[in-house]
């Protein structure tokens, strides 16, 4: 990971930004995610990450390689790592409205807990095997942009473009106001 990635984009993000990230290797995933998480933690944001392909230990390793010890942030509740199925598939199925409500609640809880902003990030690999979920994924991304506009949050949606159809990725791209690709 390079500091160049941090210097070029992530610190200039503002509350309300909703970005899409396409990556095609574990190294690119780290290069995109680690600065986003680290910058949020150092800025005093609540940081929530929904993991799927990458374990919590992997994410903690990213932060460690970026020069930040994750333990104190996990212990204080500033950093929260959740399995993606608890976020996106709570109740047993993907319900975009329910996920948006959960995000709105997480943003409000972060504010109540004294955090300026909530940084929300998640892997969407969980959707690759369910065509019905894939069809609703783009609508969900549009809802995030529309419904959370003006709220104190930053969202970074991570797509492994090795596992998704290019037509879906094009639609996902259109649903996001911002994009990072690879490194």
pLDDT in tens, 84-110: 999 999 988 999 999 999 999 999 999
Residue for token pair 């419904």: 147
**Residue 20 has what DSSP assignment?**
E
pLDDT in tens, 4-27: 344 344 547 788 888 888 999 999
96 and 140 in contact (C-beta within 8 Å)?
Answer: yes
pLDDT grade for 122, boundaries at 50, 70 and 90: very high
pTM of the model: 0.90
Structure tokens at 66: 């970026």
50 and 122 in contact (C-beta within 8 Å)?
Answer: yes
pLDDT in tens, 58-68: 999 999 999 99
**Residue 125 has what DSSP assignment?**
G
């Amino acid at each position: 990971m390079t500091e160049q990635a941090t210097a070029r984009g992530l610190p200039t993000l503002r509350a309300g930004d909703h970005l899409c990230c396409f990556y095609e290797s574990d190294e690119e995933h780290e290069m995109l995610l680690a600065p986003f998480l680290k910058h949020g933690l150092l800025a005093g944001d609540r940081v929530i990450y929904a993991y799927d392909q990458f374990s919590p230990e992997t994410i903690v390793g990213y932060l460690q390689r970026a020069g930040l010890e994750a333990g104190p942030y996990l212990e204080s509740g500033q950093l929260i790592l959740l399995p993606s199925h608890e976020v996106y598939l709570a109740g047993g199925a993907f319900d975009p409205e329910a996920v948006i409500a959960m995000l709105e609640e997480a943003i409000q809880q972060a504010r109540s807990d004294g955090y300026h902003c909530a940084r929300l990030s998640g892997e969407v690999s969980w959707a690759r095997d369910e065509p019905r979920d894939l069809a609703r994924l783009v609508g969900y991304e549009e809802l995030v942009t529309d419904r959370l506009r003006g709220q104190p949050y930053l969202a970074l949606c991570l797509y492994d473009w090795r596992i998704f159809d290019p037509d879906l990725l094009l639609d996902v791209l259109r649903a996001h106001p911002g994009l990072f690709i690879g490194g």
